[in-house]
Each structure stands twice: as structure tokens, then as C-alpha cells.
Structure 1
Amino acid sequence: MGQVTEDAPTAATTGRMATTQRYVLWIAVLGSFVAFLDGTIVNVALPAISEDLGGGLTTQQWVVDAYLITLGALILVAGSVSDAYGRVLVLRIGLIGFGIASIAIAASQTSEFLIVARAVQGAAGAFLVPSSLALITSNFTGAAQSRAIGIWTAMTTSAMIVGPLIGGLLVDLVSWRLAFLINVLPIGVTLILLARGGFHDVRHPGASIDWLGATLCTLGLGGMVYALIEQPNSGWAAPNIWIPLVVGAVLFVAFVLRQRYVRSPILPLDLFRVRNFWTGNVATAFIYGALALNGLVVVVYLQEGAGLPATLAGLASVPMTIIMIFLSSRAGAWSGRWGPRFFMTVGPITMGIGALLLLTTTAEFSYWWQVLPSMIVMGVGLALTVAPLTSAILGAIEPERSGIASAVNNAVARVAGLVTVAMLAAIVGGSLDLDGFHRAAIVTAALMIAGGITSFLGIRNPPRDAVDQPPT
């Protein structure tokens, strides 16, 4: 295979992938697959985890948010490391760490140990998605890049089928612990492909990483999230709530201020001077905050409220995933041809309409009439959104900074999910009953529609002469 030159993209504009590009695409897909796979498994396993280890809704929130705290904070460091020391090195670190953490989760005997293991897994996951996407943006350009991102989106979202199916079966028939071990197979395959591919990273001498900034970011997010999750149990006036909230906010502000002056910032604020980048990230915050909230609420309510087994609850969203798989690549190609603005507007608003369809759910539960229509509509909207959103944000930044640009966008998405999950108790009114389920659907719809409006007002399509024509 030879060397992958990250500073000079190798993508041709003919629309046909070279052998090297196909190889890169498969590595990127598999490298991200494990992170997406885990995201679907954990939601399915949450009721079984809380039943086994105790803690109720609070434990469920922490199992999700412990992962998102470290992922959201360290994904920025991973982007800097990816640009400075190479995509392949970062990808290897992430894969190995993710595998070890998955084994630790499966062996957990207490909720506290599991939450710590999830935090470690989030730290490892921070090294996966940015380096995977950076491999694509460094080796594809123009319409070929949009098509490759569309394929990456479709293939990685297939984890949303594999995860609930296998994970749900293991939860129902064996144990939730084994559901976390299925990550090991794609991790092993990706490591083998990396070893056989003959890749050599391009490293930048003199590069440095802002570890102090990463610490400020992690502690800041952690303090605020702790307060949001525990507030329903103690109240805002309790010192164990307002002190972490204030300290966390101060540390996070200090992190942002530090990024203005540090020599090698992990959050380069100058990126936000690019219109499509900052607008796309605002839209990302709305959209992915809504997706995280909806994904958790639906699968948990279907088990605890509607009484479905874990397998069926996990498979409830499969129609949405199937639609994504079939349409994402095409939506990416359309976005490369006509620009992302239309798709980033219509897609989220369509998902908002799909979320509102969940209001038809009643105590006399029927998946086919009350949930399936929502999944279909949301699937269409999601397919129209994801690839154009990614292309618009990464396409606005020069290729040599694609690693950090991807990391920032992923951090925004994860932190948005972190906040909505942390506010779950406040959103649903303390318990995830039918009324709480309806309230979550309304909040999801509002966030989605806000994402669509943001895209319409802020996103600008690239000039027609700058868009490569698709293959005929």
C-alpha cells in the first residue's frame, strides 16, 4: 500500500475510487463501527444493568454520560494528536483502549466500577471517529469525498442493526455483560487491516498537545453534568449540586479562554470564523442532542413502560437504520452535486415531525401504529441530514486540519448528547412513564426543528464551479 500522504489528498475527481482509497474507506468504516455499535448496545442494556447493579434512572444516566464526558473532552485532544502525529497511530490507540475497556465493562460487579470503565471507554472512543473521518477527508476531495462520507455513514450506521439485534438477544437470553464483548471482533479485524496495509503516518515535528486544556475541559464538563444528573435528588440549593455546577462552569470558561492564547490549542477558535463550520456545529448541537435523547428514551420506555423484551425494544429503531443505509450514500452524492443547505434544512425538520408522531403512543401500546411511523419518518430525515452535515462542516476547512475539524464537530455532537441525557430527569418529570415519554418527544421535535432552521439561515452552498460534477 505504501505511505498515506495526509497533507496532499489523493482523491481523483473522476468519481471512481482507487484501490488505496477503497482500503482507506474500509478501515475508516470499521474503526468507527465499534463506537457506533457500543452506542446502540448500551441503550438496550440499560434496564438490565440497573436491575443487576442497582441505581435506577440515575445509574442509567451515568452509564451513558460517563462515556460522553471523556469522549466529548478528549476527542478534541485526539484531533490534535491525529493532525500532529498521524491518523493511524491515533486509530490504533483508540482500538486497543476500547477493547480493553469493553472487557472491563463486561466484568463489572458494581455500578461504580462500570461507570469508571465506561469513562475509560469514552476516552478510547475519542481516538476512533475523528481519525477515521480524517483518513477519508485526507484521501478524497470534492464529490468523491461527499460520496465516501455517505458510504461511511451508511456502513457505520449498520451498527444500529447489528447492535440491537445481537445485544438484545444476549441481554434476553444470556447476560448484558456479553453484549459488550462483541466489540472485540471488529476491533481485531481493523487492527489486522492496519498492520497489513503498510500505512505510514505523516508526523509534524515540534507539535505539542494542550493537556492542561484537556484537563480543564474534562473537569468542567464533569462538574456541570454531575450537577444536572444529581439535581433531582438533592435540589439546586444543596452544596453538592451548586458547588460542582459553579466550579465546572468556571473551569470550562477557563478552558475556552485558554484556547485563545495557548500555542497549540485543542479547540482552535479560529475555525469558528468559517461560516459553514460554526453554523454546522450549532445545527449539530441541536440535532445530535435530540438524537441522543430520543435514542435513550425510546429503547428504555419500550422495555420499562411498554413491557417489550430487550431484543424487540432494540429492534424498534431498525426501520430508521435501514432507511439510513439505503439513502445516506445517495444523499451524500446529492449534497456534493447541489450543496448541503437544502438537505440540512429539510432533514432535521422531517425528523422533528417524526418525533411528534410518538405522541400517538398510548397506554394500549401498539408498535406498528404508534412507533413504526415515527421511525420511518425519522429515518428519512436522518438519511437526508447526516452526510450533508458532515460534508458541509469538514468541506469548509482545509484538508490538513481535517482531524481537528472532525474532532470539534464530534465533540459538539457528544457534548450535546451529554447535556440532554444529563437533563433527562428534568425533561421527563422524574420518571420515564407515558407522560414523560411524551414530554421527551416534544423536546426532541423542538431541538430537531431548531437544527433545521439554523441550517436554513446559516449554511451557504459552495459556488457551483467549486463543486465537482458526479460521475455519469
Structure 2
Amino acid sequence: MPSEKSVTFPKGSLFHQDTLKHLKFICILIACGLDLASVGAMIVLVTDIETRFNVSHTQSGWALTSYVITFAGFIAFFGRVGDIVGNGIMMCVFSVIFGIFSLLCAVVPNFIAFTVFRAFQGMAGAGIVPCAYALVNKMFQGPNLQRYFSILSSVISAMAGVGFIIGGAFGETALGYKSFFYFLFAASLATAAVICVLIGYPELLLNRHSYKEKFQRVYKLDVIGCLLFISGSILLVVGLTQGGESWNDPTAYVPLAVSIVLLIIFFMWNLGYAVVLKLIKPISTHKGYAYMESVNLLIPKNLMFSHNFIPVLLATFFLFCGFMVVMYVIANYSATVEGNSMIVASIKIIPMISGLVLANGTVAYKQDLFKPKNALVVGSFISILGGAFFVPIKYVDDNLFWKLFFMGGFFTGLGGAFFFCYMITMAIGDAPDQYKALAGGIVQTSGQFGNEVSLSIVISLLGNQTTDKADLRDRFQNASYIVITAATISTLVSLFLVKGPLESSGDEEKQLSECSESTTSSNSNPENQIETVMVICPDTRDKKEETVDQYLA
């Protein structure tokens, strides 16, 4: 390997990994926070968009849906690309793109163009979040890693709620939703500038001699698998969103059915790729087989079956379901049944945010408060208690916020935060080193699917919101059962399927012992193994290529 790949910066240099480390971390937090706040704010700003563009309530919902569709569809893909090209470069580029499309959303004169730009903004957001996870994992080690993962999870989980409040405030201004996107534009570009100087540019210098090889690896990403996963993810979100309006509409059940088929085919293709190679070898040309053999799968098997990865994905899916329903019920009950303005309804989310901040602050201060598995169980169980406060919603006539919503939101935030911060540690910290951003992207995809499933169900339960307050209260009570059911399933998965973590995240000897039980082949690409009787150690080629990235802060 050329010596240029191991170049590092002298201690004290602006580009050294330990220089201004906390400023870099703050910029990563801001970039992720702006991304997630744009989702929460848009839930509140939909009414303003409906008025200013003169569109129906159903049409205005695409201001949020278009973002969520591309965010969920591309987050795993961009996480994979970030692991190959470099997470610092990806973070820098997508932060700039996010800011540019924020400006375009503010100035565009018609709703169709606005929706298209929101979709591109969602793609940019999908490039920011998984790379943030991977960068934090590189910046901090040992007990500090849990502390900063706790802070990151606090920001990511709380900013959707903060977005409610910010959106409500900007919605009251003369410019309405436009003022919010101007704010996103300015904040995103300012943050991107610091990220480019402190993270992106040093990474570019350190990897400048290997980018040709890195982009060749991107070129060899599994095209079929990527198309199946992205298409399936996008259609799943579309189907669930449309299902919230009516499950009898073909625009709901057709995309949903197609998405399920595509995702099943994707996982069969991904897991059976080695079998495919065996089948085509006798009938393919040498050049064609060599290309197929060198393809990099979107979700490699050694990530998919890594320690606790699948159980954590399942638990995350269900806890996100309940978490989003609580946020939606508090804000929408206050607006529809109690007749509060959207900014007042948004402020009622504060107890939920307080629970998030308190729990994450506690974990950041005392990292060993829980063992990771226990934290998932405790967090999910506390979320069940939070959901229980919403069950008697139709029996309480006055002071509902103080009697039910305050403690229900607080417990949901508290339990969610305990779960989120340790979930990130387990999903990303225990993933193979070369797939950290991809692991973060897949976890976020799972959570986003949970959000969409729960929202589609709760919107279907609420139906067309009539002026009959008694009927609405019955429907909101039914929605509360989703919270309890989802949190209960998350508790059971965490209790019975999640195992204790690896002794040390990224422990090479532990990873080695796990991989030594797998079989291999003469295949030149370690991700596409054809089984033989041989047993090998993990391939170090990718680790060497990624070693330079470890210098970055």
C-alpha cells in the first residue's frame, strides 16, 4: 500500500483528530438537528402551506410525505456509500445540498415544485444522519463514546418535537413557512462551512490517493439490490401514507403490496447472492462472472447477522411506532378537540422533550447506569407506562394536559431516551468497523418505517376529523392502544431476543472469534462468500482501506 495513505497531521494542527473535537461534535449535532426539526416543523406548517398554495388538506400533506419518502428510501444506501467514500466528505456535501434545497423550498412559487424540492431535501437528510453516527463512533472511544452517543440520540429524538415548537413559531410570522426554510438555509450553510473545514477537508487530504479505488467500489455496489431496496422503501412509505386516508384506495394498497414483494426479493437476493454466483458460474463468461464476483452488496451478510443487529432493528421499529403516536396525539388532540392554536398545541410537547433531555443527560453523566440490554427493556417498559396515561382520555373533561398529557408525554420521552441512546451503541458500536454508517442508516430506516406504520394506523383510526368532540375523543383513545401494544412488543423483543453486548465495541479479537465460525471461498470479494470447508479470519483489505479514516475527528 502506498505510504501516502498513512499520512497523518501533527498534533496541534487545525486538522488533527483531537483539535476542536467538541466543536466538530456540536456541528454534527446541529446538522442532524436541522434535518429532524424540518420533519417536526412541517407537521405544524402544513396548514400554512395549504393556505398559501391554495391546495387541499390531502395535497398539502405531501409537503411532509415527499421528504419522508426519500429520507427513508435512501438513508441505508447513502450510509453504505459513506462507509466506502468517507463519512466526512459525505456529511460535508449533503449539508450543503440540504441548505440549497431549503432555500429553493422558500422561494419556489408553486406547490408541485415545492414538493419536488422537499423530496431532494429528504435525500440530503438521508446522507447526513448515518454519516453522523459513524463520525461520532470514530471521534470518541471507551466510556466517552456512550456519553456522546447519548447526546446525539437526545438531539435526534428531541428535535422532531422541538421542530413542532419552531414550526409553530415561524408559522405565526408574516412569511409563514418561508421564514422557516430561510432559517434552515442560513443555519445549514453555516454549519456545513465548519464541517467542510474541520472534517471534510482533512478527510479529503488523507484519502486523496485512494479516491479512484473508492469510487470504483461505489461503482461496484450491487445495482439490483440497491434498486430493490430503494424502490421497496419508497413504495412502502407511499402506501402507508396513502393508507392513512383510505385503505380502499388503490394508491394505498397497490404500492404497499408491491413494496412488500420488492423488499422480500431484496432480502432473498442479498442473502442468496453466493448461491446465485454458484448457479451462474457454469453459464457465464469469465469477464461477466468476475464482475458479479466483485459486486459489493448493499447490506453485507456479516452486518445483517452481526451481534444483536436484527433484534435491535425489531425493537427500534416498534418503539418508534409508539413514540410517534404519542407526539401526534398530544398535538392533534389539543388542536382539534380543545381548539388550541398550533403553537399552543406544539408547546404541549415540552414534557416529552423534558423526559428525553433528563434521561439522556443522566446517561451522559453516568454511562454505566444500565447494561445496554437492560436499558432497552427498561426504556420500553417506561414507554408502556407513558402510553397508559392516554387510555382514559375520553373520561377526563378538563385539565387534560395536567392530568394525562404531562406525565404521559414525560414517561414516553424518558423511556424513549433510555432506549435510543443504548440502541445506537448496540447497533452501531457492535457493527463491523467498515459498516458503521450503513448500520446507522438501517437503524434509522427501521425507525422511520415504524413512524410511518403508526401514523398511517392512527390517521385511519381518526378518520375525517368531524366536529363531534365525543366521537373524536373515542378515536383518540383507540389510538392510545397503539402506544401500549408497540411498547409491549419492544419490551418482549428486548427481553427475550436481545443478547448482552460485545465486551468491547469494535473489539477486533471478539469480531475475529465470531467470524472464525463462518465459511469462505476463493471468491475475491469477501462479502460474497461461496461456502467451502475452509475457515478464515475476517478479510483485512477493507480495514486497511478504511484505516486512514480512523485518523479523522
TM category (shorter chain) comes to 0.7 to 0.9
Counterpart in 1 of 2:142? 142
For the residue of structure 1 that corresponds to 2:147, the secondary structure is helix
- Aligned with residue 453 of structure 1, among 492, 516, 520: 492
Q: 1:415 aligns with which of 444, 449, 464?
A: 449
Aligned-pair distance for 1:397? 1.1
Give the TM-score normalised by the residue count of structure 2: 0.74
Pair 1:165–1:231, CA change in 2 (3 A): closer
Which is further off, 43-52 or 73-82? 43-52
2:202 counterpart (199, 218, 227): 199
> In structure 2, do the counterparts of structure 1 residues 222 and 405 end up closer, same or farther at CA, with 3 Å as the change threshold?
closer
Q: C-alpha displacement at 1:229, in angstroms? A: 3.7
Q: Cα distance 1:233–1:149, how it changes in 2: closer, same or farther (>3 A)?
A: closer
Contact 2:75 2:127 in 1 (8 A): yes
Match of 1:402 in 2: 436
Match of 1:259 in 2: 270
Letter of the 2:299 counterpart? L
In the TM superposition, residue 149 of structure 1 has moved relative to its aligned partner by 0.7
How far residue 389 of structure 1 moved from its aligned partner, in angstroms, is 1.1
Partners of 1:191 and 1:98 in 2: CA distance: 9
Larger displacement relative to structure 2 (326-335 or 90-99):
326-335
1:297-312 alignment to 2 at 5 Å? 297-312=329-344
d(CA) in 2 for partners of 1:231, 1:158: 27
Contact 1:143-1:467 within 8 A present in 2 as well? no
Moved more, 80-89 or 20-29: 20-29
- Would the aligned equivalents of 1:65 and 1:418 in 2 still touch at CA under 8 Å? no
Question: Would you say the 8 A contact 1:36–1:159 is kept in 2?
Answer: yes
CA distance in 2, matches of 1:65, 1:7: 45
Structure 1 partner of 2:153: 153
Residues 287 and 451 of structure 1 are in contact (CA less than 8 Å); yes or no, is this contact kept in structure 2?
A: yes
Q: Distance in 2 between matches of 1:114 and 1:106?
A: 8
Q: Match of 1:244? A: 255
CA distance in 1, matches of 2:217, 2:413: 42
Tell me how far 1:91 sits from its aligned partner: 0.9
Shift in Å at residue 242 of structure 1?
4.5
Equivalent residue letter for 2:39: G
Deviation digits for residues 227-259 of structure 1 (CA, Å, limit 9, x no counterpart):
4444576654x6555443433333333333333
For the 8 Å contact 2:71–2:126, the answer to whether it is kept is: yes
Equivalent of residue 231 in structure 2, options 219, 223, 246: 219
Partner of 1:177: 178
Aligned residue pair count: 455
Q: Counterpart of 1:117 in structure 2: which amino acid?
A: F
| CA-CA distance at 1:169 after TM superposition | 1.7
Which structure 2 residues correspond to residues 11-410 of structure 1 after superposition, within 5 A? 18-53=18-53, 58-59=58-59, 61-107=61-107, 111-156=111-156, 159=159, 162-174=162-174, 175-197=176-198, 198-201=201-204, 202=207, 205=214, 206-208=216-218, 209-231=221-243, 236=248, 240-260=251-271, 261=273, 263-332=295-364, 334=366, 336=368, 338-361=370-393, 362=396, 364=398, 366-410=400-444
Q: 2 CA distance for matches of 1:213 and 1:74?
A: 13
Q: Percent identity?
A: 19
Contact 1:35–1:125 (8 Å) recurs in 2: yes
Q: Which has the higher contact order (CA 8 A, sep 6+)?
A: 1
Supply the distance in 2 between the matched residues of 1:83 and 1:38 (Cα, whole angstroms).
Answer: 25
- 1:428 alignment partner, one of 437, 458, 462: 462
**Unpaired runs of at least 5, structure 1:** 9-16
Q: Secondary structure at the match of 1:130?
A: helix
Deviation at 1:92, TM superposition (A): 2.0
1:188 is matched by which residue type in structure 2? Answer: L
* 3-state SS of 1:179 partner: helix
- The one-character-per-residue Cα deviations of 1:111-168 (angstroms, maximum 9, x if unpaired) are 5444333322211110011111110112222322111111223345563575333321
More divergent stretch after superposition (369-378 vs 19-28): 19-28
Specify the code of the residue in structure 2 equivalent to 1:140: F
SS state at 1:341 partner? helix
Partners of 2:504 and 2:70 lie apart in 1 by 41
Q: Is the 8 A contact 1:68 1:415 kept in 2?
A: no
Q: Is the 8 A contact 2:373 2:501 kept in 1?
A: no
Q: Is the 8 A contact 2:307 2:501 kept in 1?
A: no
- Distance in 2 (alpha carbons) for counterparts of 1:412 and 1:242: 20
Q: Is the 8 A contact 2:240 2:452 kept in 1?
A: no
Residue 82 (structure 1) shift? 0.5
1:423 to 1:111, Cα distance in 2 relative to 1, 3 A: farther
For residues 353 and 73 of structure 1, do their structure 2 counterparts lie closer, same or farther at Cα, with a shift above 3 Å needed?
Answer: same
Shift of 1:170: 1.8
Q: How big is the shift at 1:200?
A: 1.4
Cα gap change, 1:158 to 1:418, in 2 (>3 Å): closer
Measure the CA separation in 2 of the matches of 1:297 and 1:55: 24
Residue by residue, what CA displacement relative to the aligned partner does 1:56-93 show, whole Å, maximum 9, x if unpaired?
66346544332222111211111111111111221122
Amino acid in structure 2 at the alignment position of 1:99: G
Q: Confirm or deny: 8 A CA contact 1:65 1:421 kept in the other structure.
A: no
Q: Quick one: distance in 1 between partners of 2:431 and 2:305? A: 11
User: Closer, same or farther in 2 for the Cα pair 1:344/1:334, shift >3 Å?
Assistant: farther
Whole-angstrom CA distance in 1 between matches of 2:7 and 2:433: 7
Find the aligned partners of 2:228 and 2:350 in 1 and give their Cα distance.
Answer: 39
Distance in 1 of aligned mates of 2:91 and 2:266:
26
AA partner of residue 238 (structure 2) = Y
Once the 2 structures are TM-superposed, how far is the Cα of residue 41 of structure 1 from its aligned partner? 0.9
Shift in Å, 1:340: 0.7
Counterpart-to-counterpart distance in 2, 1:214 and 1:407: 14
1:335–1:343 contact (8 Å) kept in structure 2: no
State the shift of 1:447 in Å.
0.7
